[in-house]
Amino acid sequence: MLLVDKQRPKSLSEMDYHKNISQNLIKMATSGEIPHILFYGPSGAGKKTRVLALLREMFGNGVEKLRMEKREFKTPSQRSVEITTVASNYHIEVNPSDVGIYDYVVVQEIIKEIAQYKQLDANAKHPFKGRTVPPASHVVVVLDEVDNLSRNAQAGLRRTMEKYTGSCRLILCCENSGRIIAPIRSRCLCIRIGAPTLLEVTTILKNNCQREGLPVVPEQLQRIAMASHRNLRRALLYLEASTMAAGGGAKGNEVELMDWERYLQVVVRNILEEQSPQALLAIRGKYYELLARLIPAQVILKELVKQLVVQCGTLKGVEGSVRRLQMETVCWGATYEQKMRQGGKEIVFLEAFTARFMSLYKQALMKR
């Protein structure tokens, strides 16, 4: 089991940061009634961990008895759409954006089906930590990455929320609440889960090392916290990778990057070394390799932009032209990310951004 899963807090009281949010969630869970909730914040901030802890606080250990199911839905054009869900007797987790443009079908059908679901033992009380939790009068539907839902799916979600609000509750998770339509936000209790501070990340890494019996090297933990950009999930993965690379100790001087990050560094070097159609074709093949290993295209694009901006800063030349190149790189990265969200083949947008940057970079080199 990975360290990030092994050391994940099981209850809200075990959370190491945002304790005020945890206390408020405990009060809501104890009452047995919760509103629709929208958790939003950066990746690796602990949104999903808090959702699972909230469910455990409400329903007890029954939420850990999970089953994975593949569900099939019919679109209006009679096309079959299949999606994988994770469910217990008290909740269901689903990521509707996995089915692309047919997400509106999944959203409406899943909630409609769950809203009609009745617990087998509605009068049962669930022991948890020595106390008795009153039974909730509804089933909880957890929707991940709702900011990636299409406008049709979000409109359908709003209507479904209104129709079945008496029998089910929705917990929505996303990174950017600005991409969610206002009618949904107004019907939810919006809770922002901010990224932990560098000090909090370092403290959590230190505590994990102590629990796992690993040597604590403050300088290495600080390097990992800096490299993770306050993404706690990534920091724990870095810690485990660095520990394995050091042969079971935590004394390595370098942060052990993930394989796909090192591979992307090779892509960046290739882009900077040669700007030609042949080089672009070779880089396209490397993008296919990353996508085939389930690295999301948006993650690839963001990391690519970040590394290219850093490399542009090392150019020797007119300061104004270098800064302009960095600004244009970020601008075009945001443009192609937006196009990627609107639909289409992701490889096309990755290749288009690369071609655009090659053109800009070549022009900058000629002006030096």
Residue 227 has pLDDT above 80, yes or no: yes
Q: What is the mean pLDDT of the chain?
A: 83
Q: What is the pLDDT of residues 143-155, one digit of tens each?
A: 998 888 888 888 8
Ramachandran angles phi, psi of 276, nearest 5°: -155, 165
In this structure, how many other beta carbons lie within 10 angstroms of the beta carbon of residue 121?
10
Same domain, 59 and 112: yes
Ramachandran angles phi, psi of 231, nearest 5°: -90, 105
Same domain, 185 and 202: no
Residue 173 · residue 127 · CB < 8 Å: no
Note whether residue 55 is domain-resident: yes
Note whether residue 180 is domain-resident: yes
Return the pLDDT at 119: 42
Same domain, 170 and 229: no
Residue 144: DSSP 8-state: -
Residue 16's pLDDT band, with cuts at 50, 70 and 90, is confident
Residue 255 has pLDDT above 60, yes or no: yes
Residue 39 has pLDDT above 70, yes or no: yes
Same domain, 186 and 202: no
Q: Which domain holds residue 288?
A: 259-367
Name the domain count of the chain.
3
Return the pLDDT at 229: 85
Residue 157's pLDDT band, with cuts at 50, 70 and 90, is confident
The CATH number linked to 62 is: 3.40.50.300
Note whether residue 253 is domain-resident: no
Same domain, 213 and 303: no
In this structure, how many other beta carbons lie within 10 angstroms of the beta carbon of residue 21?
18
Residue 131 has pLDDT above 70, yes or no: no
Torsion, Cα 46 48 50 54, to 10 degrees, reads: 180
The CATH number linked to 284 is: 1.20.272.10
Return the pLDDT at 100: 76
Higher-scoring residue by pLDDT: 39, 240: 39
Please say which residue of 192, 216, 236 terminates a domain: 192
Burial of residue 15 (number of CB atoms within 10 Å: 0-12, 13-18, 19+) = middle
Residue 132 · residue 125 · CB < 8 Å: yes
Residue 199's pLDDT band, with cuts at 50, 70 and 90, is very high
Higher-scoring residue by pLDDT: 198, 317: 198
Same domain, 149 and 163: yes
Q: What is the pLDDT of residues 176-187, one digit of tens each?
A: 888 899 999 998
Return the pLDDT at 349: 93
Note whether residue 37 is domain-resident: yes
Residue 122 has pLDDT above 90, yes or no: no
Return the pLDDT at 252: 53
Residue 3 has pLDDT above 70, yes or no: yes
Token output for 18:
């945002």
Note whether residue 252 is domain-resident: no
Residue 121 has pLDDT above 50, yes or no: no
Return the pLDDT at 357: 93
Residue 352 has pLDDT above 90, yes or no: yes
Q: Please, what's the b/e burial string for 186-202 (b: 16 or more CB within 10 A of its CB; e: otherwise)? A: ebbeebebebbeeebbb
Residue 136 has pLDDT above 60, yes or no: no
Note whether residue 268 is domain-resident: yes
Same domain, 133 and 64: yes
Same domain, 66 and 120: yes
Same domain, 205 and 341: no
Same domain, 135 and 55: yes
Average pLDDT, integer, range 295-306: 90
Return the pLDDT at 253: 58
Same domain, 314 and 183: no
Distance in angstroms (rounded) separating the CA atoms of residues 10 and 195: 19
**Length of the chain as a residue count:** 368
Q: Which residue has the tokens 């960046």?
A: 268
- Please state, for a pLDDT cut of 90, what percent of the chain lies above it: 24
Distance in angstroms (rounded) separating the CA atoms of residues 118 and 122: 8
Average pLDDT, integer, range 10-31: 88
Note whether residue 251 is domain-resident: no
Q: What is the pLDDT of residues 89-106, one digit of tens each?
A: 888 888 887 777 778 888
Note whether residue 254 is domain-resident: no
Residue 250 · residue 215 · CB < 8 Å: yes
Same domain, 205 and 188: no
Higher-scoring residue by pLDDT: 293, 257: 293
Average pLDDT, integer, range 5-33: 86
